[in-house]
């Protein structure tokens, strides 16, 4: 999966988040505190101290937006969402090629989360920094994302990926992981397609009986495949 999810945050919400992150009180620490052994070798960025009051407030703010985002729910089918983290790349900072760890412990709890999907929510306007692209490798190609502020990219956590060096300006982003109800990428993609088709038919006024049958089919597959 490599999917752009637009408008997770609107201009006003972005302004709120940026005002906190750009304030003098923002507790930025070395990003290596949350990296695994391999990641720490190639990670050079800063992140908001995860246990700080500001980090808690901002991640709740982002989580609330995600819970209401229909495309996110349909495409990702979230089971558990890791509390969003916030990072900052100044000039010369980058995160070299790595893979995200498969299992993470949710901070402040004993709960574990399997990382099926990785998410990057872009918080800086792309014209305000050079470099800083997220590059995700798949079997046959590399895909690059440098999205508008407020937009988010979601990709399979099994992918090798990197963040190119920022050569001008500053790049703010929020990153987190999702354990999906549907572990398998292909099955999840099929459900997403089916859900989209049901919505399309609904908008076009398809007959009610067909819609009920198709919806029952969707839920039948979800019941068969979901891991809760
Ligand atoms: Ni990563």
Q: What is the pLDDT of residues 126-153, one digit of tens each?
A: 999 999 999 999 878 899 999 999 999 9
Q: What is the pLDDT of residue 41?
A: 86
Domain 185-225 - what CATH class?
Answer: few secondary structures
User: Which residues, in sequence order, are CB contacts of 13 under 8 Å at separation 6+?
Assistant: 61, 65, 150
Length of the chain equals 228
Q: What is the pLDDT of residue 108?
A: 86
Q: How confident is the model at residue 77 (pLDDT cuts 50, 70, 90)?
A: very high
Q: How confident is the model at residue 112 (pLDDT cuts 50, 70, 90)?
A: very high
Distance CA 8, CA 167 (A): 26
164 Cα–ligand 1 center, Å: 12
- Give start and end residues of each alpha helix (H) in 1-104: 11-21, 37-42, 53-67, 70-76
Q: How confident is the model at residue 36 (pLDDT cuts 50, 70, 90)?
A: confident
192 Cα–ligand 1 center, Å: 24
User: What mean pLDDT, rounded, does the chain reach?
Assistant: 95
Q: How confident is the model at residue 226 (pLDDT cuts 50, 70, 90)?
A: very high
Cβ 86 vs Cβ 9: under 8 Å: no
162 Cα–ligand 1 center, Å: 7
Query: Containing H/E element for 212?
Result: helix 208-225
Distance CA 108, CA 212 (A): 42
Domains of the chain by residue range:
2-180, 185-225
Q: How confident is the model at residue 206 (pLDDT cuts 50, 70, 90)?
A: very high
Q: Which CATH number fits domain 2-180: 2.60.120.620, 1.10.490.10, 3.20.20.140, 3.90.1170.50?
A: 2.60.120.620
| Cα–chain center distance at 186 | 18
Does this model's pTM top 0.85? My answer is yes
């Amino acid at each position: 999966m490599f999917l752009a999810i637009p408008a997770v945050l609107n201009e006003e919400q972005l302004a709120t988040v940026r005002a906190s992150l750009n304030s003098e009180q923002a507790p930025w620490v070395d990003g290596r505190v949350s990296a695994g052994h391999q990641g720490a070798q190639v990670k050079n960025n800063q992140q908001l101290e995860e246990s700080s009051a500001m980090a808690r407030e901002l991640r709740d703010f982002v989580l609330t937006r995600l819970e209401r985002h229909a495309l996110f729910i349909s495409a990702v089918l979230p089971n558990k969402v890791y509390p969003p983290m916030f990072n900052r790349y100044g000039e010369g900072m980058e995160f070299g090629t790595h893979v995200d760890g498969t299992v993470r412990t949710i901070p402040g709890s004993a709960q574990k989360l399997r990382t099926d999907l990785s998410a990057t929510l872009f918080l800086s306007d792309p014209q305000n920094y050079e470099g800083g692209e997220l590059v995700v490798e798949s079997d046959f190609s590399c895909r690059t994302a440098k999205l508008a502020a407020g937009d988010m990219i979601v990709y399979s956590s099994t992918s090798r990926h990197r963040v190119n060096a920022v050569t001008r300006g500053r790049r703010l982003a929020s990153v987190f992981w999702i354990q999906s109800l549907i572990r398998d990428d292909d099955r999840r993609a099929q459900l997403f397609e089916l859900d989209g088709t049901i919505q399309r038919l609904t908008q076009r006024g398809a007959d009610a009986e067909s819609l009920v049958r198709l919806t029952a089919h969707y839920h039948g597959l979800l019941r068969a495949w979901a891991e809760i």
